[in-house]
Amino acid sequence: MSRHERHESLHRHHYLSPILLLEHCGSEIDPDKLYQDDKQECASLILHFNRAGWLHGSLAVQNIMWQQGKPTEWPIERLHSVKSFRLIDIGRLVKVNNRTELMAEDEIALRLFYLLHHAHKKKQTEKK
């Protein structure tokens, strides 16, 4: 089989690469130490994800990481850039059309960052 034929064969059979790319995704967040803007940014990340029809399925604080700089920037440029957030652990990720499931995950996101009025009140009473 020629090189060209192998190439065509791979594309026809939806070849999956045996390569696994690992990357340092940043540090785990602590919602209690985030500024309000950062909390909103994290929640927005999840809400945008859900609006696109994706359900994370394992939404928890430990699955949101922060890193200095944007992932598209060179590492040396990240030192003087803004903080960015990443959603990780997408092993249970599914594409869904059911708005009820997505809305439930939206509420989880808002509760994680104390962005729902009643969630914020509950957090304050827990500290007392």
- Domains of the chain (ranges, CATH numbers): 25-127 (1.10.510.10)
Report how far residue 75's alpha carbon sits from residue 91's, in angstroms, rounded to the nearest whole number.
27
Contacts of 65 (CB under 8 A, 6+ apart): 25, 26, 27, 28, 29, 85, 86, 88
Mean pLDDT of 42-47: 93
Q: What token pair was written down for 79?
A: 């030192």
pLDDT band at 32 (very low <50, low <70, confident <90, very high): very high
pTM of the model: 0.68
CA atoms within 13 A on the CB side of 127: 7
Q: In three state form, how does the secondary structure of the chain look?
A: CCHHHHHHHHHHCCCCCCCCCCCCCCEECCHHHCCHHHHHHHHHHHHHHHHCCEECCCCCHHHEEEEECCCCCCHHHHCCCCEEEEECCCCCCEECCCHHHHHHHHHHHHHHCCCCHHHHHHHHHHHC
Q: What is the pLDDT of residues 103-119, one digit of tens each?
A: 999 999 999 888 875 54
